[in-house]
Amino acid sequence: MTRSAVKAGLIVAALAALAACRTSTPSASRPVPASSGEATTAKQPATGTPADPRDQVEDLLASAREAVNQGDSAGFRDCEADIFQLLEQAPALGVGTGDFPGYRDDVVNELVRLAGQAEDDEANAEEPPPEPLPVPQEHVAELKEKARLAEYDLPILVNGEVSSLIDFYTGRYRERFIAAIERASHYLPFIRAELAKANLPQDLAWLPLVESAFNPRARSRAKAQGLWQFMAGTARLYDLRSDSLVDERNDPFLATHAAVRHLSDLYGTFGSWELALAAYNCGAGNVAKALHRAKGNSDFWTLRRYLRRETRNYVPALWAVVVVTKDPAAYGLPKFEEKPVCLGRVPVEGALDIEVLAERAGFDTEELATLNPALTRRLTPTNATYQLAVPCGREAQTAQVIAAIPESERVRRFLHVVKKGDTPGSIARRYGSTPDAILVANGLKNSRSLRIGQTLIVPRGPAQPSERRRTGTVRGGPKGQAAAPERYVVRPGDTLFKIARRFGTSTEELQKRNNLPDTTIRPGDVLLLTR
AA identity, residue 301: W
The span from the CA of 116 to the CA of 48, in Å, is 39
Report the distance separating Cα 170 and Cα 164, nearest Å. Answer: 10
Under a CB-based contact definition with an 8 Å cutoff, are residues 263 and 284 in contact? no
Contacts 24+ apart (CB under 8 A), 178-181: 178/333, 178/334, 179/213, 180/209, 180/213, 180/214, 180/215, 181/209, 181/214, 181/325, 181/328, 181/333, 181/336
CA pair distance 340, 335, nearest whole angstrom = 16
Write the CA distances from 198 to 12, 204, 265, integer angstroms: 55, 12, 11
Whether the Cβ atoms of residue 149 and residue 116 lie closer than 8 Å to each other: no
CATH superfamily to which 413-528 belongs: LysM domain (3.10.350.10)
CB 227, CB 256: distance < 8 Å: yes
Distance CA 151, CA 167 (A): 20
Q: Buried b / exposed e across 186-206, counting CB within 10 Å, b at 16+?
A: ebbebbbebbeeeebbbbbbb
pLDDT at 329: 93
Q: Which fold has domain 137-331?
A: Lysozyme (1.10.530)
**Which of 349, 342, 350, 403 lies closest to 367, judged by CA?**
342
DSSP SS3 for 177: helix
CA dihedral sign of residues 289, 208, 214, 321: negative
CA distances 181 to 84, 143, 175, 261, 323, Å, are: 41, 21, 10, 24, 13
According to DSSP, the residues that pair with 348 across neighbouring strands are 386
C-alpha dihedral (270, 271, 273, 278), degrees to nearest 10? -10
Give the whole-angstrom CA distance, residue 471 versus residue 483.
6
Q: How far apart are CA 207 and CA 39, in angstroms?
A: 53
Helix (H/G/I), strand (E/B), else coil: 159: coil
- Residue 196's contacts (CB-CB under 8 Å, 6 or more residues apart) are 202
Give the list of residues 6+ apart from residue 409 with CB closer than 8 angstroms, or none.
Answer: 356
Catalytic residue selected from 80, 126, 161, 211: 211
Alpha carbon distance 421, 439 (integer Å): 17
- pLDDT value, residue 220: 85
Q: Residue 175 and residue 457: Cα distance in Å, rounded? A: 41
* Burial zone of 29 (CB within 10 Å; 0-12 exposed, 13-18 middle, 19+ buried): middle
Instruction: Name the DSSP letter for residue 473.
Output: B
Q: What's the residue count for the chain? A: 531
**HEC string for 210-270:** HHHCCCCCCECCCCCECCCCECHHHHHHCCCCECCCEEHHHCHHHHHHHHHHHHHHHHHHH
Amino acid residing at 155: P
Alpha carbons within 13 angstroms on the beta-carbon side of residue 22 total 9
pLDDT in tens, 97-152: 556 677 777 787 777 677 666 655 544 555 678 889 999 999 999 999 999 989 99
Burial letters for 103-123: b for 16+ Cβ neighbours within 10 Å, e otherwise? bbeebbebbbebbeebeebee
> Would you call 211 a catalytic residue per the annotation?
yes
DSSP string, 19-65: ----SS--BTTB--PPPTTS---PPPPTT-PPPPTHHHHHHHHHHHH
Per-residue pLDDT, 223: 85
Query: DSSP secondary-structure letter at 287?
Result: H
What is the domain partition of the chain in residue ranges?
Answer: 3-124, 137-331, 343-409, 413-528
Rounded to an integer, what distance in angstroms lies between the CA atom of residue 248 and that of residue 105? 38
Classify strands 413-417 and 385-391 as parallel, antiparallel or unpaired. Answer: unpaired
pLDDT in tens, 436-455: 888 877 777 777 778 888 87
Contacts of 163 by beta carbon, 8 Å cutoff, 6+ apart: 135, 139, 140, 143, 320
Distance in angstroms between the alpha carbons of the first and the last residue of the chain:
45
SS3 letters across 370-393: HHCCCECCCECCCCCEEEEEEECC
Predicted pLDDT of residue 98: 57
Q: Would you say the pTM of this structure is higher than 0.95? A: no
The whole-number pLDDT of residue 90 equals 66
Query: How many DSSP H helices and E strands does the chain contain?
Result: 23, 6
Instruction: Name the residue among 315, 225, 305 with its Cα closest to residue 274.
Output: 315
Output the tens digit of pLDDT for each of the chain's 531 residues. 443 443 344 333 333 333 334 433 333 333 333 333 333 333 444 444 455 677 788 888 888 887 776 556 667 777 777 787 777 766 655 555 556 677 777 787 777 677 666 655 544 555 678 889 999 999 999 999 999 989 999 999 999 999 999 999 999 899 999 999 999 999 999 999 999 999 999 999 999 999 999 998 888 878 899 999 999 999 999 999 988 778 999 999 999 999 999 999 999 999 999 999 999 999 999 999 999 999 989 999 999 999 998 999 999 999 999 999 999 999 999 988 888 888 999 999 988 999 899 999 999 888 898 899 999 888 898 778 999 999 999 999 999 999 999 988 888 777 788 888 888 888 888 887 888 888 877 777 777 778 888 878 788 654 333 333 333 333 333 333 444 456 777 776 778 878 887 777 877 788 888 878 777 887 767 787 765
Q: Which pLDDT belongs to residue 15?
A: 37
